[in-house]
Amino acid sequence: MTQNPEIGQSIVANGIRTNYHDVGTGFPLLMIHGSGPGVSAWANWRLSIPVLAQDRRVIASDMVGFGYSERPAGIRYNMATWVAQAVGLLDALCIEQADLVGNSFGGGLALALAIAHPKRVRRLVLMGAAGVSFPITPGLDAVWGYQPSIANMRQLMDLFAYDRSLMSDELAELRYRASIQPGFQEAFQSMFPAPRQNGVDALASREEDIRALPHETLVLHGREDLVIPLSNSLTLADWINRSQLHVFGRCGHWTQIEHSARFCQLVGNFLAEADAQAA
């Protein structure tokens, strides 16, 4: 049997046994995945990790309730839990400060972490990010309302990408099989129950807190995103004083997969500025 590449190393982060990948050397970069069914850090960032790890230490973890991290009985899946786990991971790895990249749900989490623990964050990258309230899209409602089947997973895959040729039946089957592992769907359904607008609002930070962020921030979004609206990133770029915005045309929700090379180049250059300033 071949080893599952989604399973990396294991460490206890704020009391939660956490699955994570730790590649490369240099200033640490913590990459936080989105909230699709069957998601894991590796599934989300598999194309980005080896490229970005050429110049820095890249850490990508499965947040509790997702992937191969522990799902403790009775745990409350909310922003406070996820922020505490992410900070606990930095503590467990003896990392005082890191750059953050957050995708979708992970963008909302990265934003909340930077607000709650500003000194733990050097630079911030928000990609197709939640984190501000918006009327839930039909796409996100479908993602969070997923019921396991290969056909349903294939429909979600087509929602994520502008170029549907990137979404194969084989990929849909792999993600479906990931979504039906013991405990996975039960945890997923408990996170974002109907009415799912409540889930959008629970991932949002207060406008005044976002406006107060001191961090240099790179905001990225796909113009044709059907899951998180482009207006989210326009708002974030407006509210965050030290921000810059890049919009990818002919791109859906998976910027890091659909435009992988450009994504890595933009993020790498943005973080390299901070490396040069620190040298």
Residue 225 bears catalytic tag: yes
From 48, 225, 233, 259, the catalytic residue: 225
Q: Cα 16 to the chain's mean position, in Å?
A: 19
**Could you tell me if 233 and 219 are in contact, meaning their C-beta atoms sit under 8 angstroms apart?**
yes
Residue 209 bears catalytic tag: no
Residue 169 bears catalytic tag: no
From 33, 215, 253, 259, the catalytic residue: 253
The alpha carbon torsion through 75, 193, 222, 154 (nearest 10 deg) reads: 100
From 104, 179, 233, 243, the catalytic residue: 104
Which residues lie below 8 Å from residue 195, measured CB to CB, with a gap of 6+?
A: none
Q: Cα 263 to the chain's mean position, in Å?
A: 14
**Could you tell me if 59 and 129 are in contact, meaning their C-beta atoms sit under 8 angstroms apart?**
no
Residues designated catalytic: 104, 225, 253
